[in-house]
Structure 1
Amino acid sequence: MHQNNKINILCFSDDDFSNSLNELKEHLSFNLSFVKRENINEQCHKYDTLLIHETILNDKKLLNLLNNISSTKILISKSKNFNKFNYDEKLDIPIRINELNKKVVELKVKKKFLSNSSIKIKDYILDKNEKILKKNTSSIILTEKEIQLLELLFKENNFLKKKIILEAVWKYAPDADTHTVETHIYRLRKKIIDKFKDNNFIINTKEGYKI
């Protein structure tokens, strides 16, 4: 794969489409590679984004393989409805290069945003965008301070004293003291215990607080 700042995309298509796209490579805003059918299983996991032409999805084995891959998938298709394939974005044929370039950039930004907005903590997902802490199908709504608290505790492997938490989250606010920290963590722990029955999510000892 190319070593630069461009996105690396792997294309799955028939020979005609691959040849046409290959001729336009210099106009693309990303690095494009092609793969032979027999090497698909080996190569597809190495790329964050896949460009997939509808013709190859007639192969059921290949369709199942691609449906189970977590990479971002852009489908190139004439069909208005393509329910059998789990894609992230769809572009119509005939394809416009500027539209393809734009879509790739949009997906990159979207993926970066989503990765930054979700954090896995133990068996939970902290979704900063939705302001929730969730586990399986259950979730609780969080305040902005609670999100900051969880992020801080998650990033620190050691126990954190109340004073450290106060300085990091409240930024020396004149109306905040260590009692403020105690109150917020108590309320947050109660939310978690009430919803998830988890008494050990936030650990509290003489040394401080820890996740």
Structure 2
Amino acid sequence: MTIFFKYISYKNIAAFVSVAIFFSLLSCEEDMAKARGTKKIDFPSKIINGAHIIQRDSGFVKIRATAPLIEEYELIDTPYIEARKGIYIQFYDKKKPKKPGTIKAKYAKIIEKKQFYEAKGDVKIVTNDGQIFVTQSIFWDKNNRKMYTNDTVFVTDKDGSTLVGANGMTAKDDFSDYTFFNNSGDINAKKIPETKR
């Protein structure tokens, strides 16, 4: 009789151990599934240190850009390029190819798919006409040829006149036309057309 109980108890122990192993493996699978679900996928697929980029159109240099670090995120739904350590861009106009305009910012992001660009942190734009725009952020919707910001914008013209747009501005992307919100400043009245005085 004792042999029978030994046989049953070994059989029960073996069954219990098998069930315990099954549930522990099942819980490990669940942990792995959870880990895969929260797995970070927004890491850069390309990294450029000390970037010097030149963009040409039919041999004409349109843009020269330098940045200490550029990261490209391609493996996500909306891919983008990021310059987290700042960027300096020179942009050229065919009408004035010898005098570029410049943009300098502490951070920049480009979403090529949407043709949307942003620059943040001590943004300074100097047009090839000598106008200086200083703000904390600016956004460029390239498809609509529109630049805008809700941050305060300080503008200095080459003749020394100044303008402050306390609630931001919108502008054409070539800065040929712009609107400031809640503005003040010291501007040369000769620049204002008769119809707007």
Same fold (TM over 0.5): no
Taking structure 1 as the reference length, the TM-score comes to 0.23
Q: Which one has a larger percent helix, Structure 1 or Structure 2? A: 1
Q: Which one has a larger percent strand, Structure 1 or Structure 2? A: 2
Structure possessing the higher relative contact order (Cα contacts under 8 Å, 6 or more residues apart) = 1
Taking structure 2 as the reference length, the TM-score comes to 0.24
